Chain A
Amino acid sequence: MLQDILRFFIDDIEPDDWEKTAMNWLITAIVVAVLCAGLTFAYKGVRKATAARIEQKIWSRGQTWLSFFIGLFPVFFALLIVWYLTRDFLNYIQVGGLLKGTLFAWFLYLFVMIFGHLVSPWRRELI
Chain B
Amino acid sequence: MTNVFIAVGGSGTKVAEALVKLLAVGFPTRNDNGYLTSAGDKLIIMRVDPDQSAGAQEDLTECLNAYQELQADFSDGNKNVLASSRWSMDIDTRVRDLDPTELPNADENQMKTLSGILDSGRAQEKSLALLAPFYEQKDLNVLVDRGFYQKPFIGAAIMSVFARSLEDDSTPAGKKAGLTAFSNTPTNFFLCGSLHGGTGACGVPVMAQFLNRRKNANPGWGWRIGGCLLAPFVKPPMPPFSPLREGDTIDEEMINQLIEVHGTSPVFQAMSTPEEKRELVRQILLGFYADPDDMEARARQGLTFYKDHSSDYFDELYLVGKPSPNQLKIWSNGGKSQRNPLNSADTVAAIAALNFFAQAGTGNPNSYVIGSSNYEVPQENMRLAHVPSYKIGNAVEIEAEKVILATVLTCHLIRHGILWNKIHESAKESLICAYYDKRMGQAAIDKGFYDHSIGKMAEFINGLIAPHQEHFPTGWSSDDLYQIAKFFGDENSAGTQEIKSNLEKKILRNEARGINVLGRSETKFTDRDFGAWCPPGDQFTRGEYFRHVWTQVFAKCQTSLGN
Does A50 lie within 8 Å of B425, measured CB to CB? no
Complex CA gap A28/B519 in Å reads 64
- B126 adjacent to chain A (CB < 8 Å): no
Does B419 lie within 8 Å of A52, measured CB to CB? no
Does A53 lie within 8 Å of B507, measured CB to CB? no
Does B528 lie within 8 Å of A54, measured CB to CB? yes
Give A53's nearest chain B residue, CB to CB. Answer: B504
Does A124 lie within 8 Å of B424, measured CB to CB? yes
Total A-B pairs in contact (CB under 8 Å)?
45
Complex CA gap A101/B504 in Å reads 44
Question: What is the CB-to-nearest-CB distance from A121 to chain B, in angstroms, rounded to a whole number?
Answer: 5
Does B426 lie within 8 Å of A58, measured CB to CB? yes
Give A127's nearest chain B residue, CB to CB. Answer: B424
CB-CB under 8 A for A59 and B425, given A52-B504, A53-B527: yes
- The residue that B427 contacts in the complex, of A55, A60, A124, with Cβ under 8 A, is A124
Most interface-central of A52, A54, A57, A59 (chain B CB within 10 A): A54
Chain A residues with Cβ under 8 A from B508's Cβ?
49-50
Question: What is the CB-to-nearest-CB distance from B515 to chain A, in angstroms, rounded to a whole number?
Answer: 15
Report, as a range, how many residues of chain A touch the other chain: 10 to 19
- The residue that B419 contacts in the complex, of A55, A121, A125, with Cβ under 8 A, is A55
Chain A residues with Cβ under 8 A from B430's Cβ?
54
CB-CB contacts of A86-115 with B at 8 A, as 1s and 0s?
000000000000000000000000000000
- The residue that A53 contacts in the complex, of B422, B427, B428, B500, with Cβ under 8 A, is B500
- The residue that A54 contacts in the complex, of B424, B429, B437, B507, with Cβ under 8 A, is B429
CB-CB under 8 A for A60 and B504, given A54-B531, A55-B419: no
- A44 adjacent to chain B (CB < 8 Å): no
Report, as a range, how many residues of chain B touch the other chain: 20 to 34
Complex CA gap A53/B498 in Å reads 12
Does A54 lie within 8 Å of B419, measured CB to CB? yes
Question: What is the CB-to-nearest-CB distance from A29 to chain B, in angstroms, rounded to a whole number?
Answer: 32
Give B529's nearest chain A residue, CB to CB. Answer: A54
Give A123's nearest chain B residue, CB to CB. Answer: B428
CB under 8 Å from chain A, chain B span 508-522: 508, 513
Does A53 lie within 8 Å of B425, measured CB to CB? no
Give B528's nearest chain A residue, CB to CB. Answer: A54
- The residue that A50 contacts in the complex, of B427, B503, B507, B527, with Cβ under 8 A, is B507
Chain A residues with Cβ under 8 A from B424's Cβ?
124
CB-CB contacts of B392-429 with A at 8 A, as 1s and 0s?
00000000000000000000000001010010111111
Give A50's nearest chain B residue, CB to CB. Answer: B507
- B505 adjacent to chain A (CB < 8 Å): yes
Chain B contact residues, CB within 8 Å of chain A: 417, 419, 422, 424-430, 437, 500, 503-508, 513, 527-528, 530-531
Would you list the 3 A-B pairs with minimal beta carbon distance, nearest first?
A52-B504, A58-B426, A54-B527
**A-B contacts, 17 listed (Cβ < 8 Å):** A52-B506, A53-B503, A53-B527, A54-B417, A54-B419, A54-B430, A54-B527, A54-B528, A54-B531, A55-B419, A55-B426, A58-B426, A58-B429, A59-B425, A61-B425, A124-B427, A124-B437
List 10 additional contacts besides A52-B504, A53-B505; criterion CB under 8 Å.
Answer: A50-B508, A53-B504, A53-B527, A54-B417, A54-B429, A60-B422, A61-B425, A121-B428, A124-B424, A124-B426
